[in-house]
Amino acid sequence: MLSVEGPDDGWEVEALFDLSFGPGRELLSSYRLRSGVAPVAALCLVSRAEGGAVDGAIRHWPVRIGGRAALLLGPVAIHPTRQGEGLGALLIQESLSRATDLGHERVLLVGDAPYYGRFGFVRRGGVEMPPPTNPERVLGAELVPGAWVGISGQVERAV
């Protein structure tokens, strides 16, 4: 069952991210865009196992690209005991649906095109994440047709 991440879920979500991405995850370039900025609470979702423990989580953050608003998807993590069951896809699809319902137009992430392509993400040339991001892994999806037309430049923290 999916629900919005609540105020008491933070420690469990952070523990899941640590388990999934290991120590040093906060040194990644996307974390610089998240530092000091609150995530979009309505798009931070968790999944719980039968016993109540968080077994999946996704977050979205506000960013700006060339002065235009976008969402930065990530991290998304699934507990190793639940991987391969489609839980990650469910979290991504549900969060993108909710983002659309809330009026967001575009979503950005750093990830593998073969995996994220099935959710509408494609390589976004001209969109520059902070180094040392591999430009081939900068992907974006349109929540509104044409939302990426004319969008380029440095990705910056929303403040």
Mean pLDDT by 10 residues, the chain (159 residues): 92 87 69 87 95 94 96 94 95 98 97 96 95 93 97 93
CB of 111 closer than 8 Å to CB of 70: no
Which CATH number covers residue 50?
Answer: 3.40.630.30
For residue 131, the model assigns a pLDDT of 87
Nearest to 57 by CA among 21, 23, 30: 21
* Domain range enclosing 75: 2-157
For residue 27, the model assigns a pLDDT of 58
Measured CA to CA, the distance from residue 60 to residue 38 in angstroms comes to 9
Q: Sort strands 106-110 and 54-65 into parallel, antiparallel or unpaired.
A: unpaired
Domain count, the chain: 1
